[in-house]
Chains A and B, each alone.
Chain A
Amino acid sequence: MALLHFVIILLYLLSSAGYVYFLFAQKEIFHRLSFAILMAGFAAHTAWIGYESFRLGVIPAQNLHQTLSFAAWCLTGVYLLVKYRFRLNMLGVFAAPLASVIMIAAFFVPEIPTTQNQLFRSLWLVAHIVILFIAEASMALACGTGLLYLIQEHAIKTKSNRFFLKRLPSLEFLDRTGYAFIASGFALLTIGLIAGFIYAQIVWGRFWSWNNKEIWSMITWLIYAALLHERLVAGWRGRRAAIMAIIGFAALLFTFLGVNFLLEGHHDAFTRW
């Protein structure tokens, strides 16, 4: 399995290199090549995740090693899906290296045996995990789009950096795409959290237990809710929306990993290493 892991990392890295080269050379072939390599990496990754799910009988997100791998898989999958739909070639420069880094991190986190727990065999839990991971991938791409927006905006405002100006898509497009990521990510986030609450009700007998994880989930959810609300009501577009997408993702990352490492709470098995 280590070999497969290695192959996936290699493909993701190759794709990242291709995307970075595409950023500089602007040769259409490199972005197509990178896309194809990323697809291959994703296929290998899917096979791995599929095998692990089959072997464990649960979603392979039971320890930090698996969680990271699953997160990278979702990120790549969502990017490929979105790329298929929109002309967001440049976002590959963000998505492919991010997936590579997560996979490399996973490589250095030892795979520890997971405790077979009957608790984890519920449809609500599967929905909770899968939907939230996809939501997180979507928010990660929103953050990447936000970064691209800030770079492009800076290039246009300062009138100095023609390098990015030529290569990045229009501000309006980046803004709209970021919004689409956040809107769909928020919908998934909401559904995923509800699934989690229902599952909590089933296993612990209560929806809400004032756990750190729950509190931070709520904070993250509120940040995105505020962003969407302000956009619709007060027209939070452009720069401010881009910054909020980045802040939101930081909060999301903290909820996802930080809470488990720094604070006490349930979900600790999920990042055990």
Chain B
Amino acid sequence: MTHSPDGNGDPLTPQANGSDLPQIVLIGLNHKTAPVEIREKLAFSPEETATALAAFRNSPFIDEAMIISTCNRVEIILAVKDQSRAVETIFSYMGEAKFITPDRLNSFAYVFSGDAAVRHVFRVAASLDSMMIGEPQILGQVKDAFKVSVNAKTTGVIINRLMHKAFSTAKRVRSETGIGGHAVSISYAAVELAKKIFDSLDNKTVLLVGAGEMAELAVEHLIRNASAGNLLVANRTFAAGVALAERFHGQAIRLEEIPEKLKTADIIISSTGSPDFVITRSQVQPIMRLRKNRPLFFIDIAVPRDIDPAINRIANAYVYDIDDLQGVINENLETRQTESVKAERIVDESVIKFIEWLEHLDVVPTIICLRKKLNAIAAAEMSKTMHALNHLSLEDRLAIERMTEAMVKKILHDPALFLKNPGSHRNKSLYLDFARKLFHLDN
């Protein structure tokens, strides 16, 4: 970080100074490179993330840092000057905090730098690197991770911009390609179908029969797509039902109450281990009249099935079992493949733009840009003025030209000196970015 002031040299003479160039480095592992046991072991809980970020903030080799940790990936994004020492720092930290030797970590992790790192971040945010390509939760997880890092004050100009670009890229991928718009998992397929039956999922009552993991996932997605809905949980062991209902601010009911509750429920998700049908046609038939034929959507994710498929023949009642939902997913997979080409192109564009910005975020290019801008202004004003001053002799003109040149030089002197050395322990990127914004040097 230390930088000896270069008092004697002309600050306007660009001097290459490699170590000043901030680099983006990414160390990570995901579902493709590491098995679930390793991912579990290396995942950062919120508390661990806070501790790690605090440690990284104090490291002299790390300027900016951010940690994304989900069940499928751990990504540590850094802005550094010295890549090898930064990576070393991370590996030794992981060794201490997670008890994993650098060699072992190395066999599961990947290290990217420069545009490869940027591309990886953009692909992760755009859900192109996900297990289920296009699943939309990852963007929210990345946003949350970014928020945590911002609050921990470990991000600066570079990661801030990197993440904002990642978000806008992800948004573009979602809106311009079909990737984000499709069902990606059973629960998404179910939600998508529910939206084709109900105009909106707001204020709908969801009845959960059986408190399994799959059902829980489906409810989570439903709740994400609806507001002020009502959740009922019916489970064989009442206590488990109460626990799940509490998590989603719902209400637990007993299995015997199901027929009664069918009058008010709109979406029924069933996932019990029962060998027989839990809800039969003869139970639903009379209910439809009492419901004034408001539609009923049954999602049966249990094997063997819980919901009598004959219910699908009742008017305004719809039954989808796990195979039906799988069909929806498979079809979406095909379209997603062709769309991913488009998505990669969008990511490439963003990477090129970001790298261009990053390369300019150095002292030398900034000073050059600044000088160009001032010279251009001076030249333009000179030619305007000289046009009206025809009576001046050639010598006079040259004298005035020299004066403007000198003015530009003098004006630039102090800012250039400052940008070259804003003082030790100060974030140079921040001042460069500020200078570029102040003089409107980008685009």
Contacts and interface: CB of A to CB of B under 8 A. Distances in A.
Interface stretch (A106-114, A117-125, A231-239, A246-254): A231-239
B104 interface: no
B312 A157 contact: yes
Contacts of B331: 162
Contacts of A240: 293, 315
A171 interface: yes
Nearest to B182: A166
Interface string B281-325: 000000001011111000000000000000010011010100010
A174 B339 CA distance: 30
B124 to A, nearest CB: 28
A238 B199 contact: no
Given A152-B196, A156-B197, A171-B295, 5 more contacts: A159-B320, A170-B199, A171-B196, A237-B294, A237-B295
Tell me which of B198, B292, B293, B331 has the highest count of chain A C-beta atoms within 10 A of its own C-beta.
B293
Tell me which of A168, A172, A176, A234 has the highest count of chain B C-beta atoms within 10 A of its own C-beta.
A172
Interface in A169-204: 169-173, 176
A159 B293 contact: no
A165 interface: yes
Contacts of A172: 197-199, 295
Given A159-B320, A159-B324, A235 B293 contact: yes
B193 interface: yes
A191 to B, nearest CB: 28
A239 B199 CA distance: 16
Contact of B292 (A156, A170, A237): A237
A165 B182 CA distance: 13
B67 interface: no
Nearest to B195: A170
Tell me which of B193, B197, B294, B327 has the highest count of chain A C-beta atoms within 10 A of its own C-beta.
B197
A237 B293 contact: yes
B285 to A, nearest CB: 14
6 contacts: A157-B312, A162-B328, A165-B196, A170-B199, A236-B293, A238-B315
A16 to B, nearest CB: 25
A240 B295 CA distance: 13
Given A162-B328, A173-B199, A176-B199, A237 B193 contact: no
A156 B193 contact: yes
Interface string A232-273: 001111111000000000000000000000000000000000
Interface of A: 152, 156-157, 159, 162, 165, 168-173, 176, 234-240
B396 to A, nearest CB: 61
Contacts of A159: 320, 324, 327
A43 B292 CA distance: 43
A90 to B, nearest CB: 13
Interface in B193-211: 193, 195-199
Nearest to A241: B293
Contact of A235 (B195, B199, B289, B320): B289
B199 A234 contact: no
* 6 A-B pairs with the lowest CB-CB distances in the bound complex, closest first: A235-B292, A172-B199, A237-B293, A173-B199, A235-B293, A238-B316
Contacts of B316: 237-239
A154 to B, nearest CB: 12
A10 B196 CA distance: 34
Contacts of B295: 171-172, 237-238
Tell me which of A162, A171, A234 has the highest count of chain B C-beta atoms within 10 A of its own C-beta.
A171
A170 B198 contact: yes
A69 B135 CA distance: 51
Contacts of B289: 234-235
Contacts of A238: 293, 295, 315-316
A171 B193 CA distance: 11
A170 B193 CA distance: 9
A196 B277 CA distance: 59
A235 B324 contact: no
A156 B294 contact: no
A165 B331 CA distance: 13
A134 to B, nearest CB: 26
A173 B195 CA distance: 10
Nearest to A239: B315
A152 to B, nearest CB: 7
Contacts of A173: 199
A112 B30 CA distance: 79
B284 to A, nearest CB: 15
A223 to B, nearest CB: 19
Nearest to B297: A156
A170 B312 contact: no
Tell me which of B193, B196, B315, B324 has the highest count of chain A C-beta atoms within 10 A of its own C-beta.
B196
Contacts of A168: 196
Nearest to B291: A235
Contacts of B195: 170
Nearest to B294: A237
Contacts of A176: 199
A165 B291 CA distance: 25
B315 A235 contact: no
B310 to A, nearest CB: 12
Nearest to B315: A239
B196 A156 contact: yes
Contacts of A234: 289, 292
A172 B193 CA distance: 12
Nearest to A238: B316
Contacts of B318: 156-157
A34 B293 CA distance: 36
A153 to B, nearest CB: 9
A125 B199 CA distance: 41
B142 to A, nearest CB: 28
A152 B327 CA distance: 17
Contacts of B193: 156
Tell me which of A168, A169, A173 has the highest count of chain B C-beta atoms within 10 A of its own C-beta.
A173
Interface string B185-227: 0000000010111110000000000000000000000000000
Contacts of B327: 159
Nearest to A171: B197
A169 B199 CA distance: 8
A170 B197 contact: yes
A238 B288 CA distance: 12
A7 to B, nearest CB: 37
